[in-house]
């Protein structure tokens, strides 16, 4: 982002206006032209109970304290344009302002956290319903199964999940695979499909009876 003290200092020393300040004071760039052409590969984020505990990039030593790994990710992945937005804002005083914001570490850790949540957390926990409200009061408890590692390649402002692993994973390939005989039978879904089909069938039936005036 652009720091206000940097802007004022540069304008004061150079004697130039704000129109020329952009390229001299922006700590990060949001344009892909500024990013490295080689992806930052094999970044690994490990979390326990929903809290990041270790980050490793390539063969570099792991960073393990919250502050250490956050600062490290900001420094290394910021060069690849992670978590950067360049937007036009509507200010409270009814004028528009250009804002450049960047949080590379926060973006990467959030993506990794969401991926591990999908991997280890039951679907009902994500819903906005009475059950979810109850969970919000015991969110710490819900995060106890949130433990695993996520591998994320970073390239030109994008982060993608390459792989994940967790000893507490709810995913079992042999259970849902149509190529492996297991406890799940695709034909068992017939009743579920028919029930939903009946609801939709009745909906369209009544819709056809409505006269548009």
Per residue in 185-196, pLDDT (tens digit) is 767 778 888 888
**pTM of the entire predicted model:** 0.49
Predicted pLDDT of residue 4: 44
Phi, psi dihedrals of residue 28, rounded to the nearest 5°: -130, 155
d(CA 120, CA 170): 5
Q: Does the pLDDT value for residue 5 go beyond 70?
A: no
Q: Is 55 helix (H, G, I), strand (E, B) or coil?
A: strand
Query: 23 versus 149: which is more confidently predicted?
Result: 149
**Dihedral through CA 25, CA 65, CA 51, CA 140, nearest 10?**
-120
Mean pLDDT of 71-89: 78
At residue 185, φ and ψ (nearest 5 deg) are -115, 120
d(CA 183, CA 188) in angstroms, rounded, equals 11
| 106 closest CA partner among 62, 45, 28, 33 | 45
Reported confidence tier of residue 40, pLDDT bands at 50, 70, 90: low
Mean pLDDT of the chain: 70
Q: What is the pLDDT of residue 37?
A: 64
Are 36 and 78 in contact by the 8 Å Cβ rule? The answer is no
For the chain, what are the domain ranges?
A: 35-85+103-171, 178-208
Is the CB of residue 78 less than 8 Å from the CB of residue 28?
yes
Q: What is the structure's pLDDT at 124?
A: 65
pLDDT in tens, 157-202: 677 677 778 888 777 777 666 666 667 676 777 888 888 888 888 8
Give me the count of residues in the chain. Answer: 213
The CATH number given to 35-85+103-171 is 3.90.1260.10
Read off the pLDDT band of 129 (50, 70, 90).
low
pLDDT at 80: 77
Task: Measure the CA–CA gap between 174 and 177, rounded to whole angstroms.
Answer: 5
Confidence of residue 128 (pLDDT cuts 50, 70, 90): low
């Amino acid at each position: 982002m652009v720091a206000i003290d940097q802007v004022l200092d540069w304008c004061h020393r150079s004697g130039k206006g704000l129109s020329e300040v952009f390229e001299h004071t922006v700590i990060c760039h949001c344009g892909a032209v500024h990013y490295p052409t080689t992806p930052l590969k094999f970044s690994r984020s490990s979390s326990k109970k929903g809290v990041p505990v270790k980050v490793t990039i390539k063969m570099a030593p792991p960073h393990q304290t919250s502050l250490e790994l956050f600062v490290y990710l900001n420094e290394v992945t910021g060069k690849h344009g992670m978590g950067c937005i360049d937007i036009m804002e509507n200010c409270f005083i009814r004028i528009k302002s250009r804002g450049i914001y960047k949080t590379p570490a926060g973006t990467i850790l959030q993506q990794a956290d969401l991926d591990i949540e999908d991997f280890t957390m039951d679907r009902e926990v994500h819903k906005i319903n009475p059950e979810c409200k109850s969970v919000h009061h015991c969110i710490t408890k819900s995060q106890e199964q949130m433990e695993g590692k996520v591998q994320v390649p970073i390239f030109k402002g994008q982060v993608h999940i390459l792989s994940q692993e967790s000893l507490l994973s709810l995913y079992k390939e042999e259970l849902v695979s149509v190529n492996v005989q297991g406890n799940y039978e695709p034909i068992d879904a017939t009743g579920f499909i028919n029930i939903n089909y009946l609801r939709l069938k009745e909906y369209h039936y009544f819709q056809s009876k409505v006269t548009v005036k």
